[in-house]
Amino acid sequence: MERFLWGKNLPEAGTFALGDCRVNSLKLRPDDAIPALAPQTAAETFEFPENISVTTSNSLGEGFRAYYLRPRLKAQSSNEYSSIENKSSGRTEFTWRLGAMIGRAEDTTGALAGVTAHVTLSPTDVKVEFAGTDELGMHERVVLQETSDEIREFVTEFVGLAKRSTLYITVSPRSGKEEEGEVSEQGNDALRSIFTGNTTNLFLLFILFTFPAILFLGYYALILIVIVQGISLFFADRLALMSGAIRPTPDKPVGYVVGVAFPKDTLRSFRRVLGSLLPSIRISLARAISSAESRGDDPKKAVHEALVAGGLKCAEEDIELTARDVYGLVESAAARFRMPAPKIVVTETAASNAAATGISANRAAISITAGSLEELDDRELEAVIGHELGHIRGHDPVILFALSAIIYLGGLYIWFPVLLYLGLFYFVLAFALLYLVGKVLETRADTQSAVVLGRPEDLAAALTSIAFRELYDEKRSHSYRFLSWLTFDSHPPAYFRVKRLMRIANENTQIRHPLLESARDCLTGFFGALIGLD
């Protein structure tokens, strides 16, 4: 019997909401992100890191039947499956003939006619097993792999929907006085979209402003834009702090993430008034958590009471409270980099991510999303922080500023005829060049984290959690892997980053020149994808 067990020896992850129920986030091991298809089908590995609620498990079972199993069986003019449900335990089992559902090729259909698929959903794990596989060849085992991938994709989409149905509020316990400089949720989103990664987006934004500026100021607008870029970069650390209200410090090192599950309609209507209610709710939550901690009470109960008092009606079981020593993690990683701890801000974003900006180690800031605090364990989160410290250590924002200034001023004073000849295409090339350099800098930041912290596998694990859907698409399609190199994204494809980090972990070789080796690997990765050797 071929068995695909989702749930072995993986770190913890956070929880998210789906309507009125909760579901834990899922983890995929980095070495299983792009598995080689061998004659013996390799085991997939997903997990529910903690037992999920019975309600959630039942909801997943109902969704699997309605949105995965029945449509696929119906497409093959079949409705033959059996199920065993235990609502009290949240355990559901499904069994069906695989040949009735897969008809991609005549030989495959015949070979799989006797194969039985068995899926077990429970609050502890999800198992996919195939019986009758002893005589299957390589091609049929590939089909089994694809079937397991489809089930994995369904569960991943389930989790994605859950994350979009959860309201996140970041809290820093204190005496109750909210810090000044709080911005609205709309302002947060705008700043978060600009100050991300290695600040490539900041310089691309200025390129977009170039065209209307030239209409009014002529080519002198280029000089003005470079000056404004330099000023923005100089104050980038302070501007980045405006993207969130929670700023961990040595005096307030712990950041809390309050996740509240809502039905979609309720959450949609609440978001309309969220901007006006959030400051007072955050103050109430801070006081409630501080008081509960001082009394030794359950902070979750205090959080529930504060939310209800603030006009946010919810049940206590719909609340998840995550506490992380954010400053301690950043300080520990910075010490390994022999750098001072940068300024830190926690943003109320569900997606797992982090970003760094600043002109130097003493004028730097790191933003970390609420999703990262919930999903990533300490080792993974520290590895991601190490990646951002790699940007700061390598002066990546300054490098991009210098490149952007050369593109602007060089086009005006040195190769002006080229600019006139190319016209708007000159700026297309400028975009492409900035993104190319950005990909190399992102790869170097991965390398810096791997070398300094010595745990490339932890960063690979974090990337598989952050970019799982991208990894899934890249795994299934060679053309998608190649096109991922051509997108306007300052990050290299996720499959390339994970594969490279795992190679560094396995080979354990010394990296002497991170920038040069990162540039070489990016070129090798691109041309490997081009000719199909990836």
Q: Is 145 part of a structural domain of the chain?
A: yes
Nearest CA to 92 out of 51, 48, 62 is that of: 62
165 in Cβ contact with 57 (< 8 Å)? no
pLDDT at position 40 over 50: no
pLDDT, position 523: 94
> In the numeric block, which tokens belong to residue 72?
């696929």
Task: Note the pLDDT of residue 108.
Answer: 46
Lowest mean pLDDT among 108-112, 352-356, 430-434, 442-446: 108-112
At 228-258, the pLDDT tens digits run 888 888 988 888 888 887 899 998 898 888 8
Report yes or no on 47 lying in a domain.
yes
Q: CB neighbours of 41 closer than 8 A, spacing ≥ 6?
A: 2, 133, 141, 144, 145
Q: pLDDT at position 110, please?
A: 60
pLDDT at 286 over 80: yes
User: Is 528 contained in some domain?
Assistant: no
pLDDT tens track for 65-119: 888 888 888 877 677 889 999 888 888 999 988 775 554 444 444 667 778 888 8
pLDDT reported for residue 59:
76
Q: How far apart are CA 175 and CA 169, in angstroms?
A: 18
Are the C-beta atoms of 185 and 278 separated by less than 8 Å? yes
Question: CA-CA distances (angstroms) from residue 491 to 116, 389, 392, 434, 467?
Answer: 41, 16, 16, 11, 11
Residue 198 token pair: 């290695």
Q: What is the structure's pLDDT at 42?
A: 39
The better pLDDT of the pair 107, 502 is held by 502
Convert 21-31 to b/e letters by CB count within 10 Å (16 or more is b).
bbbbbbbbbbb
Please report the pLDDT score of residue 162 as a whole number: 62
- Is the residue at 99 inside a domain? yes
Per-residue pLDDT, averaged over 23-32, amounts to 41
Tell me the pLDDT tens digit for each residue of 294-351.
Answer: 888 888 899 988 888 887 777 787 788 888 999 999 999 999 999 999 999 998 887 7
In a domain, 89, yes or no: yes
Does any domain span residue 469?
no
**Residues of the domain holding 48:** 2-164
Average pLDDT in the chain: 77
Which percentage of the chain shows pLDDT scores above 90?
A: 24
Which tens digit of pLDDT belongs to each residue from 147-181?
887 887 787 677 666 666 677 888 887 534 444 33
Which tokens sit at 119? Answer: 């899926």
**111, 277, 387 from 172: Cα distances, Å:** 59, 17, 25
Type of residue numbered 233: L
pLDDT tier for residue 225 given thresholds of 50, 70 and 90: confident
Structure tokens at 395: 């002066």
Least confident of 38-52, 385-399, 505-519: 38-52
State the Cα–Cα distance between residues 342 and 362, nearest whole angstrom. 7
For residue 205, being part of any structural domain is answered with: no
**What pTM, to 2 d.p., does this model score?**
0.75
Could you tell me which residue, 37 or 380, shows the higher pLDDT?
Answer: 380
Q: Is residue 49 part of a domain?
A: yes
In the chain, the percentage of residues whose pLDDT exceeds 70 is 74
Mean pLDDT of 406-418: 77
Given a cut of 60, is residue 60 above it in pLDDT? yes
Q: Which two tokens stand for residue 13?
A: 């992850």
Looking at residue 215, its pLDDT comes to 67
pLDDT above 80: residue 436: yes
- How many structural domains are present in the chain? 1
407 or 83: which leads in pLDDT: 83
Identify the pLDDT of residue 273. Answer: 61
| DSSP-assigned beta bridge partners for residue 129 | 3, 118
- The helix/strand/coil state of 16 is strand
pLDDT (mean) for 381-410: 90
